[in-house]
Structures are given as C-alpha cells and as structure tokens.
C-alpha cells in the first residue's frame, strides 16, 4: 500500500468507528442483539461502523452470529 492510498483510507474512516478493542469488548452483546433482531446498528452505531470497515472483526462477528443462529430452535 502506498502512502497516498493509506492516507485516503485513513481519511475515509467513519468517525463513529469505535476501533477493534472496543468492538471486541462488546461483540458478544452486539451479536445477541442482532440475533434478536433488535436494531443493533441503532443501539450500537460505533460497533456497526467498525464492522463495516474491519474485515477481521467482521469475520469474528459472522462466526459468532452463525454459532448463535445454528443453536436457535
């Protein structure tokens, strides 16, 4: 990645993005809210913004959600 691309990517970062550390701290709660269809992105906009921007955290979210949905009767 060149410097211009890195700068462009940084400048496009959503100011609501809470970052990996905070997103991971509350990811289990966010997943439960999503699974309950309770407007998680409205309740946790910073986590929603982060998951849109961060591939690794988004993959963790997808895995946790799949595990919860698979266990739901």
Domain locations along the chain: 15-71
pLDDT of 8: 63
Q: What is the 3-state secondary structure (H, E, C) of the chain?
A: CCHHHHHHHHHCCCCCCCHHHHHHHHHHHHHHHHHCCCCHHHHCHHHHHHHHHCHHHHHHHHHHHHHHHHHCC
Burial of residue 48 (CB within 10 Å: 0-12, 13-18, 19+) is buried
pLDDT of 16: 85
- pLDDT tops 90 at residue 13: no
Which residue is listed with tokens 């709660």?
29
pTM here is 0.76
What pLDDT digit, counting tens, does each position of 46-63 carry?
999 999 889 999 999 999
Per-residue confidence band for 72, with pLDDT thresholds at 50, 70 and 90: low
């Amino acid at each position: 990645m060149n410097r211009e691309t890195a700068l462009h990517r940084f400048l496009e970062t959503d100011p609501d993005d809470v970052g990996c550390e905070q997103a991971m701290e509350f990811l289990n709660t966010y997943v439960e809210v999503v699974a309950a269809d309770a407007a998680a992105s409205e309740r946790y906009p910073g986590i929603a913004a982060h998951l849109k921007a961060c591939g690794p955290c988004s993959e963790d979210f997808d895995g946790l959600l799949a595990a919860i949905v698979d266990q739901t009767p």
